[in-house]
C-alpha cells in the first residue's frame, strides 16, 4: 500500500476516511457493530475536524502521520499500541469525544447492545418488559414498616 | 393569561422552577396578580424529545459558564458545572421525582455535627416541626408515592437488582419511593407508563412539575403573566434602597424593564447569586444583599457518583421509571463511619451514549468496549450525599468568560472538604468482606448479589463488576436554593431538594400573601 499524499480535504478523501474508520474501530472495538455505524461516526468526526485552519491542519497532519506509520496494515494489538502513543493529541481527543456521543447514539448500535431507546410512542415499557427480570425474587416495593 | 403593564408595580417572580412555580401558584390562588419571568423557553411536556441528547440540547442551561477548583468537573466539564434546566418548570423537568424529607437533625446540622474544621455549618432558623405541615402540602401537591394514600410504583428491572442487593446487604429502608410520579391517575395526571424518560421532560405527564401543575393552574386564574425567554440581568432599587424594578433580556437580546413592588428571586444556585452580583451599583458595590459578603458562598452540590454493575443475565435497566428506587439506610448520620452526614442510593439508568460519555470521561479501548457490550446486563444506581458547606466554594462573576450578551458568566469554584472525601473513600474503600460485615459501600448491593453462594436464584458463577464514575458533574442536577429571596444560607441537604423547596415556597407564599393583603408591602 502506497502512503497517501498529505490531504487537507480529509472529509472528501476516501483513503483518509478509511484510515479514520479503522482508528475508531481499534479504539472502540465491537465485533458485532456494523461497519456502517463506524463509517457514520467517522463522518461526524471529519465534520467536527473542520474547525479553524489550525484545527484542520492538525487533524490532517495526524492522519498523515498515521498513514506514514503504516497504521492501516497493523494488526489489532499493534494498532491499539499505536493509538495509545497518540492518545493526548488533539486528533485523538476529538476522535474519542466525538465517538462516545456518536457511535453509541446510533440506532443500529442500540439494536446490537439491546437498548430499545425512545418508548413513549410505543406506550412506554409498561407492557414491553419493564419488569420481566426473572432471575431474582420479587422485591418489596413498600417502605420498611419498622422505619415508619 | 393576564397581561400586566411593564410600568405597573407588580409582584415579580424570577424563575419558574420548584420554588418560583410554587410561589406563582400560591400567590395567584390567593388572588394576587404576578409576573413570572423565566429565562428559558416554554417547552410543553409533549414537545420534549424521548432521546437523551436531543432532550439535553433542548433543556439544559448551556450559556457560557466557567469552573475552578480541584473538583474533577473543572477538568472534565469546565463549561458545565451543573445540569440545570433553562425552560419553564426549571430543573423539575429533569428531576427524577424522588421526594425525601429532610430529617429533624438536618435542621440542626451545626449542633448535631459539631465543630467541623473548615465547614460553615449552621442550624436552620426553623425546625422540622415548623415545616412538617408544609411538607404535607408539598407531598400532596406533588403526589409523592407512599404518602397520603398514594400507592407505590411497581418494581422495574433495575429496582429488582437494587432492592435484592439491598436486602442481601442487610439494608432495610428500600422502596420504590417516595417519588412524585403517579402509580395510578391522580390530580389530573395519568399513571406512569414506565417509559424511562422522566428525566427528559416526561412526555407522559405522570410526574409532578410546575410545568404540569402549578403554572397551568396559575394561568387559569387569569392572574399570572408568564413571560418565557425573559432572562433577568439586573434588579434595580429606589432611593430607599429597596428593589423597585427588574431588567430582563428577551431571546433576541432586547432589554425590558418591569416595575416591581416585590421581587421573589427563585433562580438556581448559580444564576441567583450571579443576578445579585450583576446588580452591583454605587450604593451596593459588591452586589445586592451582599453586605455580609456571603452571596454565592457556601456553594454545595451533592457528594455524588454513579455505580454500575454487570451480570450474566439481562437487566434492561432503561425500561421503566429511571429513579424509582431509594435506599435510605446510609442516609442517617453515623460518625463511626469516619464522616458526618450520609447519602442515599437511588436507581439510575442511562442510555448507551450517555453512559459512554459520562461513566469515565476519558476512557476508551477494548476494556471500555467490553463494558459497553454488556449494556443490556447492566444495572445502575446513583449516590447522592451531602457536601460540607465551605466559604471558599463560591459562585463569582468570571473575569474572563462572557455569556452571549457580553455579561460576565458565573464562575463556580469548588474544592472537596475532607468530610466529602472521607464519605467517598468509605464507599470506594470497602472491600467485599467489609461490605458484608458492615453493610456499607456504594457497591455493596451489587457485590452482595455476586458473593452470596446460597441463593436459589443466583448461580455461583454470577459475577458483578462495578464502576464508580467519579464525581460526575452533569450527572448531578444543580444545587437549587431552598429559599426564595435569601442567599448565603447553609442549605443542608442530601437527596433531592425539590420537596423541601416547594414546602418552603408554600410557607413563604402564605406569609407574603398575608403581608401584601395587609398592605405592609
User: What domain count does chain A have?
Assistant: 1
For residue B211, the 8-state DSSP code is: T
Task: Collect all residues of chain A within an 8 Å Cβ-Cβ radius of residue B351.
Answer: 110, 115, 117
SS3 of B373, please? helix
Does residue A33 sit within a domain?
yes
Asked if B152 has any chain A CB less than 8 Å from its own CB, the reply is yes
What pLDDT, in 10s, does the model give residues B261-298? Answer: 999 999 989 999 999 999 999 999 999 999 999 999 99
B319 and A142 within 8 Å at the Cβ level: the answer is no
What pLDDT, in 10s, does the model give residues B403-462? Answer: 999 999 999 999 999 998 888 777 654 433 433 343 445 566 776 665 332 222 222 222
Dig out the grid coordinates for B342 from the structure.
Answer: 450520609
The pTM of this model reads 0.90
pLDDT for A53 beyond 60? yes
Choose among B235, B174, B196: nearest CA to B350.
B196
SS3 of B507, please? helix
What pLDDT, in 10s, does the model give residues A14-50? Answer: 889 999 999 999 999 999 999 999 999 999 999 999 9
For B325, nearest residue in chain A (alpha carbons): A141
What pLDDT, in 10s, does the model give residues B356-377? Answer: 988 777 889 999 999 899 999 9
A136 and B458 within 8 Å at the Cβ level: the answer is yes
In SS3 terms, B121-183 reads as CCCCCCCHHHHHHHHHHHHHHHCCCCCCCCCCCCCCHHHHHHHHHHHHHCCCCEECCCECECC
* Sequence-ordered strand ranges (E) for B442-505: 465-470
Which residue did the predictor score with more confidence, A6 or A113?
Answer: A113
Distances from the Cα of B353 to the Cα of A69, A103, B170, B462, angstroms = 31, 8, 34, 26
For residue B43, the 8-state DSSP code is: -
Which residue did the predictor score with more confidence, B190 or B359?
Answer: B190
According to the model, what pLDDT value does residue B381 have? 86
C-beta neighbour count of B417 within 10 angstroms? 23
Mean pLDDT of A110-134: 97
Task: Collect all residues of chain B within an 8 Å Cβ-Cβ radius of residue A85.
Answer: none
Cα-only R_g, chain B: 23
- Name every residue whose Cβ is closer than 8 Å to that of residue B5 and which is 6 or more positions away in sequence: none
C-beta neighbour count of B79 within 10 angstroms? 12
Does residue A141 sit within a domain?
no
Mean pLDDT of A91-96: 96
Does residue A145 sit within a domain?
no
Query: Cell 434588579 maps to which residue?
Result: B235
How close B167 gets to chain A, by Cα (Å)? 9
pLDDT for A84 beyond 80? yes
Dig out the grid coordinates for B405 from the structure.
Answer: 450578551
B154 and A141 within 8 Å at the Cβ level: the answer is yes
Sheet-wide strand order for B394-402: B66-68, B408-413, B394-402
How close B257 gets to chain A, by Cα (Å)? 39
Does residue A76 sit within a domain?
yes
Mean pLDDT of B154-174: 92
Number of cross-chain residue pairs from A and B with Cβ atoms under 8 Å apart = 169
How close B172 gets to chain A, by Cα (Å)? 6
H-run or E-run covering B36: strand B34-37
Mean pLDDT of B344-350: 92
Choose, out of B160, B206, B311, the residue to mutate when testing the contact with A (most A CBs < 10 Å): B160
* Sequence-ordered strand ranges (E) for B390-488: 394-402, 408-413, 465-470
Choose among B21, B505, B473, B453: nearest CA to B217.
B21
Does residue A96 sit within a domain?
yes
pLDDT averaged over chain B? 86
Mean pLDDT of B162-183: 93
Confidence of residue B464 (pLDDT cuts 50, 70, 90): very low
B364 and A28 within 8 Å at the Cβ level: the answer is yes
Rounded-to-10 torsion of CA B223, B266, B26, B94: 100
Does residue A108 sit within a domain?
yes
According to the model, what pLDDT value does residue B441 have? 54
Range of the domain at A66: 10-136
Mean pLDDT of B375-394: 90
Mean pLDDT of B244-254: 97
Amino acid at each position: 500500500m502506497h502512503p497517501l499524499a498529505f490531504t487537507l480535504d480529509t472529509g472528501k478523501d476516501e483513503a483518509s476516511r478509511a484510515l479514520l474508520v479503522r482508528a475508531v474501530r481499534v479504539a472502540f472495538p465491537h465485533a458485532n457493530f456494523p461497519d456502517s455505524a463506524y463509517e457514520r461516526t467517522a463522518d461526524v468526526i471529519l465534520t467536527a475536524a473542520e474547525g479553524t485552519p489550525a484545527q484542520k491542519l492538525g487533524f490532517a497532519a495526524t492522519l498523515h502521520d498515521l498513514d506514514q506509520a503504516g497504521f492501516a496494515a497493523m494488526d489489532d494489538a499493534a494498532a491499539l499500541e499505536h493509538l495509545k502513543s497518540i492518545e493526548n493529541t488533539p486528533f485523538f481527543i476529538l476522535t474519542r469525544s466525538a465517538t462516545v456521543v456518536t457511535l453509541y447514539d446510533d440506532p443500529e448500535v442500540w439494536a446490537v447492545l439491546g437498548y430499545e431507546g425512545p418508548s413513549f410512542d410505543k406506550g412506554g415499557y409498561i407492557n414491553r418488559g419493564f419488569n420481566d427480570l426473572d432471575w431474582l425474587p420479587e422485591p418489596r416495593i413498600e417502605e420498611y414498616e419498622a422505619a415508619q | 393569561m393576564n397581561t400586566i403593564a411593564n410600568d405597573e408595580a407588580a409582584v415579580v417572580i424570577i424563575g419558574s422552577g420548584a420554588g418560583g412555580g410554587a410561589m406563582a401558584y400560591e400567590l395567584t390562588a390567593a388572588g394576587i396578580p404576578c409576573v413570572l419571568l423565566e429565562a428559558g423557553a416554554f417547552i410543553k411536556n409533549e414537545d420534549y424529545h424521548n432521546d437523551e441528547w436531543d432532550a439535553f440540547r433542548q433543556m439544559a442551561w448551556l450559556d457560557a459558564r466557567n469552573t475552578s477548583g480541584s473538583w474533577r468537573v473543572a477538568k472534565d466539564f469546565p463549561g458545565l458545572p451543573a445540569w440545570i434546566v433553562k425552560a419553564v418548570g426549571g430543573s423539575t423537568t429533569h428531576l427524577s421525582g424522588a421526594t425525601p424529607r429532610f430529617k429533624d437533625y438536618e435542621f440542626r446540622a451545626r449542633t448535631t455535627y459539631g465543630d467541623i474544621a473548615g465547614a460553615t455549618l449552621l442550624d436552620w432558623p426553623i425546625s422540622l416541626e415548623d415545616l412538617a405541615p408544609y411538607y404535607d402540602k408539598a407531598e400532596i401537591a406533588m403526589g409523592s408515592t407512599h404518602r397520603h394514600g398514594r400507592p407505590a410504583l411497581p418494581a422495574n428491572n433495575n429496582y429488582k437488582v437494587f432492592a435484592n442487593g439491598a436486602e442481601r446487604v442487610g439494608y432495610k429502608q428500600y422502596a420504590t419511593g417516595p417519588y412524585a410520579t403517579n402509580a395510578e391517575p391522580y390530580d389530573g395526571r395519568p399513571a406512569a407508563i414506565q417509559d424511562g424518560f422522566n428525566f427528559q421532560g416526561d412526555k407522559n405527564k405522570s410526574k409532578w412539575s410546575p410545568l404540569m401543575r402549578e403554572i397551568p393552574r396559575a394561568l387559569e386564574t387569569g392572574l399570572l403573566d408568564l413571560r418565557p425567554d425573559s432572562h433577568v440581568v439586573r434588579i434595580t432599587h429606589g432611593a430607599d434602597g429597596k428593589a423597585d424594578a427588574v431588567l430582563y433580556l428577551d431571546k433576541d437580546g432586547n432589554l425590558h424593564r418591569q416595575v416591581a413592588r416585590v421581587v421573589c428571586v427563585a433562580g438556581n444556585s448559580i444564576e441567583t447569586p450571579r443576578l445579585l452580583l450583576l446588580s452591583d451599583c454605587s450604593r451596593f458595590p459588591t452586589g445586592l444583599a451582599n453586605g455580609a459578603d456571603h452571596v454565592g458562598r457556601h456553594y454545595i452540590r451533592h457528594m455524588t457518583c454513579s455505580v454500575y454493575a454487570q451480570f450474566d443475565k439481562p437487566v434492561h435497566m432503561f425500561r421503566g421509571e429511571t429513579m424509582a428506587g431509594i435506599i435510605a439506610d446510609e442516609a442517617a448520620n453515623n460518625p463511626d463511619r469516619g464522616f458526618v452526614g450520609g447519602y442515599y442510593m437511588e436507581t439510575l439508568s442511562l442510555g448507551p451514549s450517555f453512559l459512554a460519555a459520562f461513566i469515565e470521561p476519558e476512557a476508551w479501548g477494548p476494556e471500555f468496549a467490553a463494558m459497553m457490550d454488556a449494556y443490556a446486563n447492566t444495572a445502575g444506581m446513583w449516590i447522592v450525599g451531602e457536601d460540607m458547606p465551605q466559604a471558599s466554594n463560591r459562585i463569582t462573576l468570571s473575569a474572563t468568560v462572557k455569556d452571549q450578551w457580553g455579561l460576565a458568566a458565573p464562575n463556580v469554584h469548588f474544592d472537596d472538604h475532607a468530610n466529602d472525601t472521607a464519605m467517598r473513600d468509605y464507599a470506594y474503600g470497602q472491600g467485599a468482606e467489609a461490605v458484608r460485615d458492615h453493610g456499607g459501600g456504594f457497591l455493596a448491593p451489587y457485590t452482595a448479589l455476586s458473593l452470596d453462594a446460597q441463593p436459589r436464584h443466583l448461580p455461583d458463577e454470577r459475577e458483578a463488576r462495578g464502576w464508580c464514575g467519579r464525581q460526575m458533574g452533569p450527572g448531578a442536577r444543580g444545587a437549587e436554593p431552598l429559599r426564595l429571596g435569601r442567599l448565603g444560607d447553609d442549605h443542608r441537604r442530601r437527596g433531592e431538594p425539590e420537596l423541601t423547596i416547594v414546602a418552603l415556597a408554600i410557607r413563604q407564599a402564605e406569609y407574603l400573601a398575608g403581608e401584601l393583603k395587609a398592605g405592609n408591602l
